[in-house]
Chain A
Amino acid sequence: MMIQPIQPGFVGVVTGIDICQPLTAPEVAQIEAGMDSFAVLSFPNQPLTDEQQVVFSANFGELEIPLAAQMMAPEKRRFQKIELGDISNFDGKNTDKLRDREDSRRMYALANRLWHSDASFRAVGAGYTLLHSRVNPTKGGNTEFADMRAAYDALDAKTKALVDDMIVGHSIVYSREQIGFEVKGDADNLKPVKHRLVVTHPVTGRKSLYLSSHIGEIDGWLIPEARAFLRDLTEHATQRQFVYSHKWEVNDLVMWDNRTVMHRATRFDDLKERRDLRRTSIKGVGLGVDSVPVQQAAE
């Protein structure tokens, strides 16, 4: 197995391994070490089945059940494997039909065009996310990754002091609100959860900004002031020098560490072209973002 960085210290391309096959413990360790170094790993040309993607993902921890799958009746789910997230523009199980312009699933998914960290609205956010490409549009639909370690390092000393102990509130409601899509209800999974804005990686000891469009509040700050500040910080953190834009090829698997990168989807002609990606996520248990004081996380 070989890992070749695309940018210094950020995004590695992994070759010389077949991840459709069961991995050995040293291989898993080497991939994890690669994740610690590069935060994003890209495995080109891996024709995984759904089953194989789940098996490969399980090497890195317990899989999350996607929010959408949780909330959906079993007969409406597109995949047999409930761990698989549907990142497509298909009308559910009918893969020949694209979602209509006004489809609420489409509206909901549009918020993925904002920079975010997966499942940061959960008390324990996602660790790794793994995305496998099956069908791509002819143009657009990239996934962009921003290095939150480099973004933290590049802050001036005053800003570091300001953010180092900041506690922020995340909710899926906040990211949808930013594009004018109201998520209604008082379900527990809509309530804001608290995380530290600056997290320390348990293995490398590096600090990073745990930013996400799901953030809508800062403890002790007035909302408008918090939001204006978070926008400034996000702008800093997503400057081009911190960003890698992944143009998908069929059978790419890209995995990233949500504790150290933000990502977003870029636009494509989703009313005319097909795009099908499948996502698995690893729970972040014991991986660092749960370093928020427990009583605050539980509020």
Chain B
Amino acid sequence: METELKKVRGLGAAHNGTRHFWMQRVTAIANVPLTLYLLYFVIAHIGAGRDAVVASVKNPFCAIALSLMLISICWHMKLGWQMVIEDYVHGNGAKLACLILNIFLAFGLCGLGVFAILKMSFGV
């Protein structure tokens, strides 16, 4: 139910306001330059050896851009999958399980990728 107070705070039945929409758009804007950089990075390393990839990631600009790309993409991905789960997974138990798995998957992929980048960047 939307009370007057909730209306003022912008909170409805979902118990949160426009944050989902806002962060989806903000990450979408960030994703444009970051994924274009990714396309460049991938094309530049077609058939490359491991040394070439590690050498590229040792460049701080490259490491930071790739890390931010993964964070922004995974955040956007978490929001998008969440929306589809909320729309199409019926039954509270299944919905809750999918929502939790979705968060684990997004954070897991992001953590794994950023760790790989940092490991190459700091050179071990």
Chain B associates with chain A: no
Binding site for B on A (CB under 8 A): none
